[in-house]
């Protein structure tokens, strides 16, 4: 089997580091370079925590793609750079696997169009943890039967975007099947703005940020005399890596934008 040539953007970050280690322990993955906003000209192995990863660091994405000719770009950076990296990758025929969250609907549409134009696949997964994908699907099933639902997502306090990509994706999946309703009392008033959370199609999303947390979400359904809670917890970032591996393997088989791991999980 030919090895899959991979570039990682954001390799020094919390997720990027785990993705580097994933390539190190996966026989058919070949890390050929990393993208950073500093350390041009160095090797990744020059940096703490990356002994043995003797691959070049690039700050110029085009130079990186021209030199290394990767099959796949894994992006784990920020919304602004993630979007730019994914677009540039597609324009070079490189298939992006994007874990970066905070993309707008317009970003997604543009990437979908670019996939079609370039006849290349791109996978964007708001959450790579397989249990989180199941939590979203189970919530979608429950939303058929329960109109009243609120999403509570809880993340570490270094997270830049709110609500989380997972919460938005969960709301989108539920909105496909849920009978529309505005959550709460029709006359309710917030005495402190934001008290009722973000409004997505009448569903409320509450974002908690605390040190010590990693990534957690509970979807709470209520009906007369009962409630149903569907919850997922990631206790470390290794929990995301089986999803990253799957996405890298699957992105080579598609020529469209895939938004959400549920679309490629058997
Ligand atoms: N899809 C998932 O399952 C999942 C899981 C965890 C985190 N995330 C998302 O992944 C992203 C990264 O999260 P994190 O916790 O690793 O963040 P982090 O801040 O630890 O890492 C981000 C890295 O990107 C680098 N970076 C910033 N700008 C860059 C640029 N222009 N070029 C190259 N590198 C650049 C930073 O130096 C940093 O090392 C976030 O958007 C987060 O929401 C997704
Ligand atoms: O750490 C983060 O940031 C995470 N972001 C994802 C999101 O926005 O849903 C999920 C996993 C962790």
pLDDT tens digits, residue range 121-154? 999 999 999 999 999 999 999 999 999 999 999 9
Percent of the chain with pLDDT over 90: 99
Summarize pLDDT for 63-75 with one digit per residue, the tens.
999 999 999 999 9
Q: Are 148 and 110 in contact (CB under 8 A)?
A: no
Peptide bond into 6 cis (omega under 30): no
Q: Which atom of ligand 1 is nearest to the CA of 127?
A: 3
- Measured CA to CA, the distance from residue 250 to residue 174 in angstroms comes to 25
Whether the ipTM is more than 0.90: the answer is yes
Cα–Cα distance for residue pair 215/152, rounded to 1 Å: 11
Between strands 72-75 and 149-155, the pairing is unpaired
Please, what is the average pLDDT of the chain?
Answer: 97
Q: Do β-strands 203-209 and 198-200 pair in parallel, antiparallel, or remain unpaired?
A: antiparallel
Catalytic residue among 17, 87, 137, 159: 159
Q: Which of 201, 198, 202 is nearest to 164 (CA)?
A: 198
- The set of residues, in sequence order, having a beta carbon less than 8 Å from that of 4 and lying 6+ positions away, is 28, 29, 30, 71, 72, 248, 249, 252
pLDDT for residue 175: 98
The CA 23 to ligand 2 mean position distance, Å, reads 21
List pocket residues of ligand 1, CB cut-off 6 Å: 9-10, 12-16, 35-37, 76-78, 81, 99-102, 125-128, 159, 240
pLDDT of residue 266: 75
* Complete domains list, the chain, with CATH: 4-124+238-263 (3.40.50.720), 130-234 (3.30.360.10)
Best CA proximity match to 232, nearest among 169, 183, 147, 144? 169
The pLDDT tens digits for 6-16 are 999 999 999 99
The answer to whether residue 155 is catalytic is yes
Whats the size of the chain, residue-wise?
266
| pLDDT of 221 above 90 | yes
pLDDT at 253 > cutoff 90 = yes
Q: At what angle do helices 79-91 and 105-118 cross, to 10 degrees?
A: 10
CB count within 10 Å of CB 249 equals: 16
37, 69, 155, 253: the catalytic one is 155
Torsion sign across C-alpha atoms 245, 85, 53, 32? positive
pLDDT of residue 1: 73
* Span from the CA of 2 to the centroid of ligand 2 (angstroms): 32
Is residue 116 predicted with pLDDT exceeding 90?
Answer: yes
Instruction: Name 226's Cβ contacts closer than 8 Å, sequence gap at least 6.
Output: none
Strands, E assignment, the chain: 4-9, 29-35, 57-58, 72-75, 95-98, 122-124, 149-155, 198-200, 203-209, 215-223, 226-234, 257-259
What average pLDDT score do residues 166-188 get?
Answer: 97
């Amino acid at each position: 089997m030919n090895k899959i040539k991979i570039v990682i953007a954001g390799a020094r970050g919390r997720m990027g580091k785990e993705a580097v280690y994933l390539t190190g322990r996966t026989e058919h993955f070949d890390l050929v370079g990393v993208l950073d906003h500093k350390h041009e000209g160095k090797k990744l192995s020059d940096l703490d925590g990356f002994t043995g990863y003797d691959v070049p660091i690039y700050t110029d994405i085009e130079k990186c793609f021209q030199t290394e000719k990767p099959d796949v770009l894994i992006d784990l950076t920020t919304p602004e750079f993630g979007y730019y990296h994914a677009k540039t990758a597609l324009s070079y025929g490189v298939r992006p696997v994007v874990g970066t969250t905070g993309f707008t609907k317009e970003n997604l549409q543009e990437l979908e169009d670019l996939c079609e134009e370039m006849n290349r696949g791109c996978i964007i997964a708001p959450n790579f943890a397989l249990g989180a994908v199941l939590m979203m699907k189970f919530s979608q099933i429950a939303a058929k039967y329960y109109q009243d639902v609120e999403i509570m997502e809880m993340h570490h306090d270094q997270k830049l975007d709110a609500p989380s990509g997972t919460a938005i994706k969960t709301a989108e999946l539920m909105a496909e099947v849920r009978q529309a309703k505005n959550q709460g009392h029709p006359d309710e008033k917030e005495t402190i703005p934001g008290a009722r959370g973000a409004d997505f199609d009448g569903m409320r999303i509450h974002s908690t940020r605390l040190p010590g947390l990693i990534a957690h979400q509970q979807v709470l359904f209520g009906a007369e005399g009962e409630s149903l809670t569907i919850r997922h917890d990631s206790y470390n970032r290794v929990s995301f890596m089986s999803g990253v591996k799957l996405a890298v393997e699957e992105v080579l088989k598609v020529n469209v934008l895939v938004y959400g791991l549920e679309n490629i999980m058997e």
